Structure 1
Amino acid sequence: MSFGAAALAAVIGAMVSVLSGVIAYDPLHLAAAQSISRSPAASWWPVLVYGPWLVASVSVLRAALHRKPAAHSWAVVLLFSATAVALCLTQAPHTITGLATAGIPPVAALTCFQQLVRQITLTRSIRQPESRHRNASHAAR
């Protein structure tokens, strides 16, 4: 059951992350187009925000699977999530609805990712190897 819940969380999280990236593409592209002024590179500029986010996310997932700390990778994920939110908000109409519409997709992607990592760390059983001292005392008996 835990594996099924983690798999479902992974599928839903991936769908939300892709949808968030698609929604955030236009505001990020507009932010770049205003600075780069119609350069063909402006259409690829959102990759500079979501590329490091994706690479750091894979590093966090790998660390979670191996039960290792990933503070640096989490910092990169948070930095580029904040960058995406800030750039999307600059392109949004300055209304509550406009700001929410622009800011929620990157936050939703980050939240789903964090929950996926949480599912991975919760579903992995903790196996503590028996100590050599304990094995030796059992053998002596």
Structure 2
Amino acid sequence: MTTVSAFSGIIAYDPLRHVAQRYSPASTASWWPLLVYGPWAVASLSILRAALHQRRALHSWAVVLLFSFAGMLLCVAEAPRHYTDMTAAALPTVAALACFQQMVRCITLTRPLRRAKPRHRNHGQPPG
């Protein structure tokens, strides 16, 4: 999963930088892809943490999906207007997202279920 995500980030870096060069100064264009992959990475870590603690991470999944979709759209917009080229531009983002989802699924399926502990003590019953 890490290799696929890193490889897709490397592939998508150049198209995202080209988009940024049109709208921002040249000195900041090389850092611009971090606006897409920074929130994606942080939300991914949040999802992994939630999976390890058997909690839900709906907000983090929304961030991952939003920035995956944004990165994919920007890469497709930069690709030549042929179906094959547009598919090749979208594939790294889709592959990274699919690998990440499968890794989270593996974590949640291999972790044994925790027993639910009561949140509050029963104060109405005497001890003993």
Task: State the TM-score, normalizing by the size of structure 1.
Answer: 0.80
Once the two structures are superposed, what CA deviation does each residue of 1:80-101 show, in whole Å capped at 9, x if it has no partner? Answer: 0000000001100110111011
Q: Distance in 1 between matches of 2:63 and 2:93?
A: 14
Letter paired with 2:7: L
Q: CA deviation at 1:128?
A: 2.7
Equivalent positions of 1:1-141 (< 5 A) are 13-36=1-24, 38-128=25-115
User: What is the identity percentage for the equivalent residue pairs of Structure 1 and Structure 2?
Assistant: 56
Task: State the TM-score, normalizing by the size of structure 2.
Answer: 0.88
Greater share of helix: 1
Once the two structures are superposed, what CA deviation does each residue of 1:36-67 show, in whole Å capped at 9, x if it has no partner? Answer: 1x521000000110000000000000000001
Q: CA deviation at 1:73?
A: 0.4
Letter paired with 1:32: A
Q: What number of residue pairs does the alignment pair up?
A: 118
Q: Distance in 2 between matches of 1:129 and 1:47?
A: 40
Change (3 A) 1:29 1:130: closer
Q: CA deviation at 1:26?
A: 0.5
Q: Give structure 2 stretches of 5+ with no counterpart.
A: 119-128
Q: Which runs of 4+ in 1 moved over 6 A?
A: none
Q: Give structure 1 stretches of 5+ with no counterpart.
A: 1-12, 132-141
Equivalent position SS for 2:42: helix
Letter paired with 1:26: D
Change (3 A) 1:84 1:130: closer
